[in-house]
Amino acid sequence: MNDTPIKPAIGIDLGTTFSVIAHVNDVGRPETIPNAEGDLLTPSVILFDEDEVIVGREAAKAKATELEKIADCPKRQIGNQVYDKVFGDRRYPPEALQGWILNKLKRDAARVAGDFDEAVITVPAYFDEVRRKSTQDSGFIGGLKVLDIINEPTAAAVAYGYQAGWIDLSGKVAEPINVLVYDLGGGTFDVTVMEVGVNRFRTIATDGDMRLGGQDWDQRLIDHVAKNFKDNYGIDPTEDSTALGKLLRDCKDAKETLSSRSKASVECVFGSSSIKTDISRDMFEDMTLDLLDRTDFTVRQTLKAAKLAWTDIDKVILVGGSTRMPAVREMLTSLSGQQPDTTLSPDEAVAHGAALRAAMLSNRHSNAFAPSEIKNVNSHTLGVVANEVETGIAKVVPLIPRNTPLPVVARRVFKTHRKNQESILVQIVEGENNTPEDCSQLGRCAIWDLPDTLEVGTLIEVRFAYEENGRLKIKVKVGGSTQKAFRYEIQRPNSLTDEQLDSWREYICDSNE
């Protein structure tokens, strides 16, 4: 026996609207850890109040009255250089805002799980390279050592698989099954088709919409209630931040009520006037039908990309609080011809899967967890920009098409254009379009010190190694007599430097000690 204390296996679902932290308990079951307020879900909201920074429930409550002091849904802006709102006279990178959230989760969870710094964090399958790296940086800033970044649907499938016994811990091989994970949260939508076998999770196809979630359903209700007010009083309550804050909260409540009741009402107060608007579930479903249709479309597309038919799908799993809306369940039942599996809480499944993954990685409960293999695919095509020989026009040359199983290594050979060319610029892009402007720029690496005797047409080999966690490494080899090789970490224009990361980490973690 060794005496080193077992490290807790921690998983974090860093959600757009709510975050959840879970651990694997002493008997090997994943369990959500309540925060200091006693809640299982922590709103991903930050309040900057003078010198105080408050994360979670109290910050979310302040949205109704102090909207200007609130940083809401930093995850929606991850990948940008700074969050789009100024607090006092300060601007914050989204990584720092997420760092605050993670640090609160960490501190609160330590009271139950004991001190820890290692954790698995989840991201939407649709997140690109930039956002994955930013999420990892957020973890560092929040005082964590990020063991792995895994996709939310993969985590959900792990949790369902574990609890339903698809993962046969005794090692008996069951038939692999195909699972479709439909995740509609507060701010993002994801659909993923995976193959789940014993100790094996393989993503076949994934797609989603970074800008679609429960908030859009809320917004439809807000528009409806505000219009009713305006029709009656001629003034728009959404122009006032206090009235809008209250509307945001009440419309979200009404939407959630409509998941279990057939009607709800919202009282809108602005100035000295007020009006009550009644909404039935049918009305609500009518005014949000196009949003649901967008998810329907993506589900079909993803199934097509996976080259599967509904009869090949053994399980439909629902993840994300918004899947509590009956319309979502009805749509999926009629699409798939089967009842979606709702045995796990849609808010907690992702964090539970992440905790199980952490347990697998840290070899805790090693008798209970056979080594498990998680296979991901890349969610966007990765390529480089090259000039067409005939026209000189810049075009995207794809290296790794979307939905390629990871890890993958891809090579492509280019030629130099000019004699004695001194430098080469390799521009890395991500996206489904062949015009560079329509793709997102991941970064560029420039090689300045080429040997000065290069012939026209010297071969340049670009090699992409895309790892399972979605991280990308690049190697450029210059052929001819030189055989020089250059290794690159992509330089992302928006990402924080090591010094910035250290100073944010110190700032956020120390102030909370």
Selected binder of Mg ion within 185, 187, 237, 245 (CB under 5 A): 185
Q: How far is CA 184 from CA 217, 277, 326, 332, 342, in A?
A: 11, 26, 13, 12, 13
Separation between Cα atoms, residue 212 and residue 180, nearest integer Å: 19
Note every long-range contact of 48-54, with CB atoms under 8 Å and residues 24 or more positions apart, other chains counting. Answer: 48/87, 48/88, 53/100, 53/511
Give 188 or 238: the residue with its C-beta nearer to ligand ADP.
188
Burial of 370 (0-12, 13-18, 19+ CB in 10 A): middle
- What's CA 421's distance to the chain center, in Å? 41
Give 188 or 295: the residue with its C-beta nearer to ligand ADP.
188
Half-sphere exposure of 444 (CA within 13 A, CB side): 14
The three-class DSSP label of residue 55 is strand
Find tokens 């760092």 and name the residue: 99
Considering only CA atoms, which of 225, 205, 209, 182 is closest in space to residue 322?
Answer: 182
Q: Which two tokens stand for residue 280?
A: 């039935």
Give me the catalytic one of 7, 13, 216, 218. Answer: 13
Give me the catalytic one of 108, 152, 195, 209. Answer: 152
Q: Which two tokens stand for residue 403?
A: 């939905």
Selected binder of ligand ADP within 347, 374, 458, 492 (CB under 6 A): 347
Distance in Å, CB of 193 to ligand ADP, minimum: 20
User: What number of chain residues touch Mg ion (CB under 5 A)?
Assistant: 2
Tell me the Cα Rg of the chain: 25
Partner whose binding site includes residue 380, from ligand ADP, Mg ion, none (CB under 5 to 8 Å by kind): none
Partner whose binding site includes residue 153, from ligand ADP, Mg ion, none (CB under 5 to 8 Å by kind): none
Q: Which two tokens stand for residue 25?
A: 């308990």
Q: Which two tokens stand for residue 382?
A: 């990765």
Separation between Cα atoms, residue 286 and residue 145, nearest integer Å: 46
Interface stretch with ligand ADP, choices 224-232, 319-327, 352-360, 386-394 (CB under 6 A)? 319-327
Distance in Å, CB of 469 to Mg ion, minimum: 19
Selected binder of Mg ion within 11, 15, 56, 470 (CB under 5 A): 15
Note every long-range contact of 323-331, with CB atoms under 8 Å and residues 24 or more positions apart, other chains counting. Answer: 323/182, 323/183, 323/184, 324/256, 324/259, 325/217, 325/255, 325/258, 325/259, 326/259, 326/281, 327/285, 327/288, 327/292, 328/182, 328/184, 328/292, 328/295, 331/292, 331/295, 331/296
Question: Does residue 353 interact with Mg ion by CB under 5 A?
Answer: no
Partner whose binding site includes residue 79, from ligand ADP, Mg ion, none (CB under 5 to 8 Å by kind): none
**Dihedral sign, CA of 58, 60, 63, 67?**
positive
Interface stretch with ligand ADP, choices 106-114, 321-329, 352-360, 363-371 (CB under 6 A)? 321-329
Interface stretch with ligand ADP, choices 9-17, 306-314, 424-432, 477-485 (CB under 6 A)? 9-17
Question: Does residue 340 interact with ligand ADP by CB under 6 A?
Answer: no
Considering only CA atoms, which of 353, 369, 433 is closest in space to residue 183?
Answer: 353
Bridge partners, residue 269, by sequence: 274
- Catalytic: 452? no
User: What number of chain residues touch ligand ADP (CB under 6 A)?
Assistant: 21
Selected binder of ligand ADP within 325, 355, 356, 386 (CB under 6 A): 325
Partner whose binding site includes residue 321, from Mg ion, ligand ADP, none (CB under 5 to 8 Å by kind): ligand ADP
Question: Does residue 228 interact with ligand ADP by CB under 6 A?
Answer: no
Give 143 or 185: the residue with its C-beta nearer to Mg ion.
185
Question: Does residue 124 interact with Mg ion by CB under 5 A?
Answer: no
Interface stretch with Mg ion, choices 12-20, 80-88, 104-112, 465-473 (CB under 5 A)? 12-20
Partner whose binding site includes residue 208, from ligand ADP, Mg ion, none (CB under 5 to 8 Å by kind): none
- Catalytic: 39? no
Residue 379: count of CB within 10 angstroms of its CB: 23
Considering only CA atoms, which of 451, 452, 463, 458 is closest in space to residue 488?
Answer: 463
Give me the catalytic one of 72, 129, 148, 183. Answer: 183
Find tokens 């956002």 and name the residue: 131
Distance in Å, CB of 218 to Mg ion, minimum: 16
Question: Does residue 162 interact with ligand ADP by CB under 6 A?
Answer: no
Give me the catalytic one of 63, 75, 246, 315. Answer: 75
Residues 14-73 that bind ligand ADP (CB under 6 A): 15-18
Selected binder of ligand ADP within 32, 42, 135, 188 (CB under 6 A): 188
Distance in Å, CB of 206 to Mg ion, minimum: 15
- Catalytic: 152? yes
- Catalytic: 183? yes
> What positions carry a catalytic annotation?
13, 75, 152, 183
Q: Which residue ranges make up the site for Mg ion (CB under 5 A)?
A: 15, 185
Chain residues binding ligand ADP by CB under 6 A are 15-18, 185-188, 213-215, 252, 255-256, 259, 320-322, 324-325, 347
